[in-house]
Amino acid sequence: MESVSRGQKATIYPGERYTPRERVWKILEHQEADRVPAELGGCLSFMMKQSYFNLKHYLHLPIFFKEIDYWPGGTHYTSFWTTPIDERIYRRFRIDFRPISIRFPRPFIPQKLFSDNSFIDECGFHRKAGETYLEFANPYPLEHMDNVDEIINDPYWPDPEKDRSVEGLDRKAKRIDEGGYALSCVAPMGGVFETSWQRRGFNKFVEDIYLRPNIANALLDKVKDVLIKMYGMMLDQIGDYCTLVGVADDMGAQTSGFLNLDTYRKFIKPRHKEIFDFIHKKTAAKIYLHSCGNVDMYINDFIEEGVDVLNPVQPECPDMGLEALKDKYGDKITFCGGVNSQRVLPRGTPADVKAEVIRVIKAAANGGGFIVAPGHIIQPEVPPWNVCALYDSVIKHGQYPIKL
């Protein structure tokens, strides 16, 4: 595997005509480039630590001290959400994206630790280590509060100006930019809907929307203000270098959306729009929305809000087949994802993975507007040879013009 040094420029491989950033911009402008780009840990396409370490072993790469979390049981946790990927893996898989997020000025310690080893994390969520994830735990921190003032003045809300830092982000962004990569700016917390329920409890927050709209509105506005502050701090430093700005707000379950469209339009859409408009004013970058599950019913609204890229496009969900989505919205939005990650990646063979990659490229890559990525976070049991098969197949079969 090739060795890399800090700030090293992207390699233009035989048969390629563009730098990663040029390639990504062409794809985002719905044009064909030299090849289809692939995403892994470059914006909001995640990989669990367990499978990441397996991959490193498989590729004979050392595991760095900074990559190891101290949570029990090898549980996946990174306060930056995206697993930091070893630069050599980025290059091995020819990932065109590199992420940057706001930093913590001090090492992370729980805001509050409970006797069962659960704790309040840096975003004010109650978490407990499970066998695979660091899960949201009961009770939710704001679950039993019944007035707006108490909720808004809760001491565990993140305060970006006090608890976060953007020092050095511009230097790092410049280095990535000069390397020729597509830079993604990612906030280390979710969007207005998911952050609201992660602090309040899912059922409780849905009840707020219907039965206590003053509380729902106050919560959503509080999260929106924190996010605007966070994106503002980051984009003031690195806005000129960004290709993507990642926002994560899961709106779908496996079979359908969480909220009906009217409720979505009343409570969520205006806040999404305000955040995306704010981002668009700060940078020419495209908005990349990570929203899991069956979100077909919201896609027209996402587009109206200013979303340019939709991730992760879970193919196992009804209505989320790439062919149909490409037909319906292909000229207005770029899809990033689509590779079956509930069945093929964990339990298929490398040949199955290759066939899956060929399927998604055939379905969605013509005319640009498609980035290959897993249809959800790569789970702990996904074998490393399947991860390699995924990205090797993109390199091998993703050449434009698509002749599959």
Partner 1 sequence: MEQKDILEKFKNAIVDLDLEKALDSTKEALNNGVTAYEIMDAMRSASNLVGQKFESCEYFISELIIAGTIMKSASDLLKPHMSGDKTKFRGKVIIGSAPGDMHDIGKNLVVVSLMGAGFEVVDLGIDVPADKFVQAVKDETPNIMGISALTSTTMMRIGEVIEALKSSSIRDKIKVVLGGAPLTDEFAKKVGADACAKDVINGIKICEGWISE
User: What is the distance between the alpha carbons of residues 9 and 179, in angstroms, rounded to a whole number?
Assistant: 4
Report the residue number, 237 or 294, with the smaller CB distance to partner 1: 294
CB 117 within 8 A of CB 134: no
Half-sphere exposure of 208 (CA within 13 A, CB side): 26
Least distance CB 368 / partner 1 (angstroms): 30
Helices (H), 111-242: 148-152, 160-163, 169-179, 192-200, 202-211, 213-238
Report the residue number, 142 or 185, with the smaller CB distance to partner 1: 142
Residue with tokens 């984009």: 235
Q: Helix 384-397 and helix 49-58: axis angle, to 10°? A: 80
Least distance CB 132 / partner 1 (angstroms): 5
Closest CA to 161 of 236, 111, 244, 238: 236
Report the residue number, 233 or 382, with the smaller CB distance to partner 1: 382
Least distance CB 55 / partner 1 (angstroms): 16
Beta carbons within 8 Å of 199's beta carbon, 6+ residues apart = 124, 125, 140, 141, 142, 154, 219, 223
Report the residue number, 90 or 298, with the smaller CB distance to partner 1: 298
Least distance CB 257 / partner 1 (angstroms): 5
Report the residue number, 347 or 396, with the smaller CB distance to partner 1: 347
Least distance CB 129 / partner 1 (angstroms): 9
Q: Helix 269-282 and helix 213-238: axis angle, to 10°? A: 10
Least distance CB 348 / partner 1 (angstroms): 11
Binding region for partner 1 (CB under 8 A): 128, 130-133, 135, 137-138, 202-203, 206-207, 209-211, 253-260, 263, 293, 316, 341-343, 346-347, 379-381
Report the residue number, 67 or 319, with the smaller CB distance to partner 1: 319
CB 216 within 8 A of CB 272: no
Least distance CB 114 / partner 1 (angstroms): 15
Closest CA to 280 of 300, 313, 306: 306
* DSSP label of 15: T
Report the residue number, 169 or 325, with the smaller CB distance to partner 1: 325
Residues 52, 374, 169, 167, CA torsion sign: negative
Least distance CB 395 / partner 1 (angstroms): 25
Report the residue number, 253 or 404, with the smaller CB distance to partner 1: 253
User: What is the distance between the alpha carbons of residues 119 and 99, in angstroms, rounded to a whole number?
Assistant: 27
Residue with tokens 């970058």: 285
For residue 37 the two structure tokens come to 């780009």
Report the residue number, 37 or 380, with the smaller CB distance to partner 1: 380
Q: 283: how many CB neighbours lie within 10 A of its CB?
A: 21
Least distance CB 50 / partner 1 (angstroms): 9
